[in-house]
Structure 1
Amino acid sequence: MAGMTTAERRGYQMICGDEGAMMVIACDQRGGMRTLLADTPEAQSAVGTDILGDTKIDIATHLARHATAVLVDPVCALPKMIDEGHLHRSTALLVGLDDSGYASTPEGYRLSKLVPGISARRVRELGATGGKIMVYLRSDIPAANLHNLHLLEQVIEDFASEDLLLVVEFLTYALPDEDKARHAAALPSLIEGGSRLCLDLGAKLLKIPFPGTAQACANITRMAGEVPWAVLSAGVDHATFLGQVETAMANGASGVIAGRSLWKDCISLDREVTRERLTRIALPRLRELQAVIGRHMPRR
C-alpha cells in the first residue's frame, strides 16, 4: 500500500484529535441539503448557494468548532468561511472535489463528476488541509467502474503532484432493476471490494460506508494495512450510527467523517433556529461519538 509522505502525514495529523482519530464534520452536500431545508422541488430550487453557504458556515461555527475538521464543498461557503473568520484556527479544513449528483449510462451505471476548476492547487489556494473525492463503485461489475476509476486515478495523481492530503471516498449503489434485498445482502462484499479498488489506485486515506459487519470491518483493516479508514454516516439516524461506529472502531477504523446523522434535523432557513439546534441537539450527538472513539483510542 502507498504510504503517506511527510506533508500528507502532517495533514492527516491535523484532521485528527489528540487521541489520533478523525472526527470530521461533513457538510459538503448541496442537493441533499436543499431537500432538508425545503419540502417541495420548487422551494428547493429557490435555495441558492448563498443560503447553503450560510448554513455550512453555521455548521462549521457551532458544531465543527468542537470536532477535528470540517469537510466543505468549494461552491457555497469558500473562501468566505475563511476570509470572514468563521472557521476557527484549530479546525482543519477538507475541500470536497465531487460535484453534486451524477450522470447515468443506459445500463444504470453512475458516473461521478468533479466541480469544474477545482484541482489540488486550487484546494491549497483555498487554505485547506487537504481534499476529498467521492466516486460511485460497483466492485462486482468492472464495466461500471471504468469512468469513475479513471477519474479517481487522475485526482490521486494530481494531489500527489502537490504533495497534498487526499481523502478517497466511495459509495456503492443498486442498479435500477436490481433486487434491493439481494443488493443489501451483498453490501459487505461490495464495500470490501470497493475499498480494494481504491487502495489499488494508491489511496492513502479512505472514507467508506459502514461495511455491515464486524468481520467486514476487520477484513478492510487487514486489507488496508497502514492506510487509515473512516466510516461515514450515510444519513442514518444517530442511534444507529453510534452502533456502527462502535463496531467499526472496535475492528480497526481510525475515526469518523459524518454529516447528516449529526445535523440533518437541525438545519433551517431560519439561521437562529439552526444555531440553537446545532448547539442543543447536534453538539451532544458529537460528544457521544467522541466518547465512542475515545474508548477505542484513548488520549495519548
Structure 2
Amino acid sequence: MTRMTTAELRGYQQICGPDGAMMVIACDQRGGMRSLLASEPDEQAKIGNDVLGNTKADITRYLASKASCVLVDPICAVPHLVNDGVIARDTALLIGLDASGWETSPEGYRLSTLVPDITARKVRELGATGGKIMVYLRSDRPDANTRNIATLHRCIEDFAKEDLLLVVEFLTYRLEGESAEEYAAKLPELITEGCRMSLGCGAKLLKIPYPGSPEACAAVTKISADVPWAVLSAGVDHETFLSQVEIAMMNGASGVIAGRSLWKDCISLDREITRHKLETIAVKRLREIQAVIARYQNGGKTKAA
C-alpha cells in the first residue's frame, strides 16, 4: 500500500477538521444541481454557469465555512471563490476533475470523462489543497473498466509528479438488463472490490458509496489498511445518511465527503431563500453529522511515507 508523501499528508490534514476526520462539503455537481434548481429541462438549460457559481459560492460561504473543506468544480466555482474572498482562509479547497455526465461504450458501459486541461498543475494554480477524480467501476466486468482504469492511472501519476493530494472516488452502476434486486445483491462486493481496484492503481485517499452493511464497511477498512476512506451521501435523505455515517465511522471510515443530502432541498434561484435554508436547515444537518463523526473518529489513520 502506497503511503502519502509529506506534502500529500499536509493536504490531507488540511481537509480534515481539528479532530482529524474529514468533513468535506461537496458541491462539484453541474447537471445534478441544475435539476434541483429547475424541474423542467428547458428551464434547466437556461441556468448558466454564473448561476451555478453563485449557488456554489453560497454553499461555500454559509455551509462549508463550518466544515473543514469544500469540493467544487473548475468550471463554475474557481478561481472566484478564492479571488473574491468567498472561501474562508481556514477552509480547504478540493477541485473535481471529472466532467458532468459520462459517455457510453457500445457494450453499454459508462466511460468517465474529465474536464479538459485541468491538470494537477492547474489545480495548484487555482489555489486548491488538492483534486478529486471520479471514475465508474464494475469490478465484476473487467472489460467495462479498461478505459476508466487508464484514466485513473494517468491522474494519479500526474498528481504524484506535482506531489499534490488526490481524492479517488468511484461509483458503481446498474448494467442494461440488470434488475434492481440483482444489482443490490452485488453492491457490497462491487464497492469492496472497487476499493481494491482503486488502491491497485495507487489511490491514497478514497471517497466511496456507502458499502451497504457494517460487515462491508469493515471489509473496506481491512482492504484499505492505512489508506483513509470517506463515505459519500449519494443524495439519500438526511436521516438515512446519518445512519450510514454512524455505521461507516464505527467500522473504520475516516470521515465524510457529502453534498446533496445536506443541501439538495436548500438551494434556490432566489439567493435569499438559499442563504436562509443553508443557515437554518443545512447547517443543522452538518452539526448532526459532525456529532456522529466525533463519537467514532480515530484521529486519522494515515502516515507519510
Compute the TM-score of the two structures, normalised by the length of structure 1: 0.99
Q: Secondary structure at the match of 1:197?
A: helix
Which residue of 2 is the match for residue 50 of structure 1? 50
Cα offset for 1:298? Answer: 7.2
Cα offset for 1:34? Answer: 0.2
Task: Indicate the larger mover: 91-100 or 290-299.
Answer: 290-299
Task: Indicate the larger mover: 172-181 or 188-197.
Answer: 172-181
Which residue of 2 is the match for residue 84 of structure 1? 84
Q: Secondary structure at the match of 1:76?
A: coil
- Please give the alpha-carbon distance, in whole angstroms, between the structure 1 residues aligned to 2:4 and 2:298: 23
- Answering whether residue 172 of structure 2 is matched by residue 156 of structure 1, we say no
- Please give the alpha-carbon distance, in whole angstroms, between the structure 2 residues aligned to 1:81 and 1:133: 20
Which residue of 2 is the match for residue 284 of structure 1? 284
Q: Secondary structure at the match of 2:19?
A: coil
Q: Secondary structure at the match of 1:12?
A: helix
Which residue of 2 is the match for residue 256 of structure 1? 256
**Amino acid in structure 2 at the alignment position of 1:128:** A
Q: Number of residue pairs matched? A: 300
- Answering whether residue 71 of structure 2 is matched by residue 71 of structure 1, we say yes
Cα offset for 1:297? Answer: 2.3
Q: Secondary structure at the match of 1:132?
A: strand
Q: Secondary structure at the match of 1:60?
A: helix
Which residue of 1 is the match for residue 267 of structure 2? 267
Cα offset for 1:6? Answer: 0.2
Q: How does 1:176-191 map to 2 (within 5 A)?
A: 176-191=176-191
Deviations 1:138-174 (A, max 9, x none): 0000000000000000000000000000000000000
Task: Indicate the larger mover: 176-185 or 33-42.
Answer: 176-185
Unaligned runs of 5+ in 1: none
Deviations 1:85-143 (A, max 9, x none): 00000100000000000000122100000000100000000000000000000000000
Unaligned runs of 5+ in 2: 301-305
- Please give the alpha-carbon distance, in whole angstroms, between the structure 2 residues aligned to 1:297 and 1:250: 8
Q: How does 1:1-150 map to 2 (within 5 A)?
A: 1-150=1-150
- Please give the alpha-carbon distance, in whole angstroms, between the structure 1 residues aligned to 2:184 and 2:131: 30
After the TM superposition, which parts of structure 1 deviate over 6 Å for at least 4 consecutive aligned residues? none
- Please give the alpha-carbon distance, in whole angstroms, between the structure 2 residues aligned to 1:99 and 1:41: 19
- Please give the alpha-carbon distance, in whole angstroms, between the structure 2 residues aligned to 1:226 and 1:276: 40
- Please give the alpha-carbon distance, in whole angstroms, between the structure 2 residues aligned to 1:299 and 1:236: 27
- Please give the alpha-carbon distance, in whole angstroms, between the structure 2 residues aligned to 1:171 and 1:254: 19
**Amino acid in structure 1 at the alignment position of 2:168:** V
Q: 1:133 to 1:298 in 2, by over 3 A?
A: closer
**Amino acid in structure 1 at the alignment position of 2:198:** C
- Please give the alpha-carbon distance, in whole angstroms, between the structure 1 residues aligned to 2:80 and 2:178: 43
Cα offset for 1:182? Answer: 0.6
- Please give the alpha-carbon distance, in whole angstroms, between the structure 2 residues aligned to 1:187 and 1:226: 23
Kept in 1, the 8 Å contact 2:249–2:296? The answer is yes
Deviations 1:68-88 (A, max 9, x none): 000000000110111000000
**Amino acid in structure 2 at the alignment position of 1:161:** K
Compute the TM-score of the two structures, normalised by the length of structure 2: 0.97
Percent identical residues? 66
Deviations 1:178-234 (A, max 9, x none): 111110111000000100000001000000000001001001101101000000000
Which residue of 1 is the match for residue 303 of structure 2? none
Kept in 1, the 8 Å contact 2:133–2:168? The answer is yes
Q: 1:299 to 1:219 in 2, by over 3 A?
A: closer
- Please give the alpha-carbon distance, in whole angstroms, between the structure 2 residues aligned to 1:123 and 1:249: 30
